[in-house]
Amino acid sequence: MGTLIFRINNNTMKKEIIHKIKLGIFVSIGLALFIAGIYFIGETKKLFSSTFRISAMFKDVNGLQVGNNVRFAGINVGTIDGIEIITDTNVKVDMVVDVKTQQFIKKDAKAIIGSDGLMGNKIMNISPGTKGKPIIENNDMIGTTIPINFDDMLLKLKTTVDNASYITGDLAAIMGNIKSGKGTIGKLFMDSIFADNLDRTIVNVKQGTKGFKQNMDAAKHSFLLGGFFKKDPKIAADKKLKEDKKAKEEKLKKAEKQKQKEDAKK
């Protein structure tokens, strides 16, 4: 009987010890995860590193929130610490930045609100400023650049799409009229009779132009109108140029014949 009671007590103690060990392991893991989480958050928010504060004034923060990241050269170097409305056109944004970055940020640095991806959280981007300028100091106010408003961009894009839709509709209507033979262009492409008439008209115009030129040439050499064309300085100059050219050609021919006779005598 005593041996049985001892065995029961021994088994109960073993179970309690195993339970306590499991509970201790669970609590230790939970505590380790808690500490790791606190460290990760603190590291992200720069709670465990030396920081300095800077501020910037904006007309519109475009959805920027406290806790959003501050980036320099594409690297997270701080967080947004506070946002305060000063007037109806001015919003003050306070930033906490890692002190290691201070040496790279100049007095004329600019801050601009951007997005982490196309639809991501808002972030604050800081440009370095001009090389050779003084380094920014704690609690300094830096300049800002007006951010691109995504809503305005979408509105402009919508307007462009609407205009393109109207233009496409007009082009479709024009092409429909052309296919159905409406209008001058439609008749030109789709009406064979109109196209033949147009071809004949062009041929007649060419023939008429050629006949007019022939008539004008005949008039130049006529007895009645020849004197009129001679008075025209342009016509006279053209005629003189032709005569000079003809005289030179005759002179060259005579010289060539003379040379041939001399060569024959030799």
* Domain boundaries defined on the chain: 1-44, 51-148
- Out of 9-13, 112-116, 118-122, 207-211, pick the least confident: 9-13
pLDDT for the residue 23? 75
pLDDT at 141: 92
pLDDT, residue 80, reads: 92
- pTM score, whole prediction: 0.45
pLDDT surpassing 60 at residue 229: no
Residue 150: predicted pLDDT = 65
Q: Is the pLDDT of residue 84 over 60?
A: yes
pLDDT at 6 > cutoff 60: no
Query: Residue 216 — very low, low, confident or very high, per pLDDT cuts 50/70/90?
Result: low
First CA to last CA across the chain, in angstroms? 163
Neighbours of 188 (CB within 10 A): 13
Work out the average pLDDT over 188-199.
64
Query: Rounded to whole angstroms, how far apart are CA atoms 157 and 91?
Result: 28
- Asked if pLDDT for residue 180 goes beyond 80, the answer is no
Amino acid at residue number 44: T
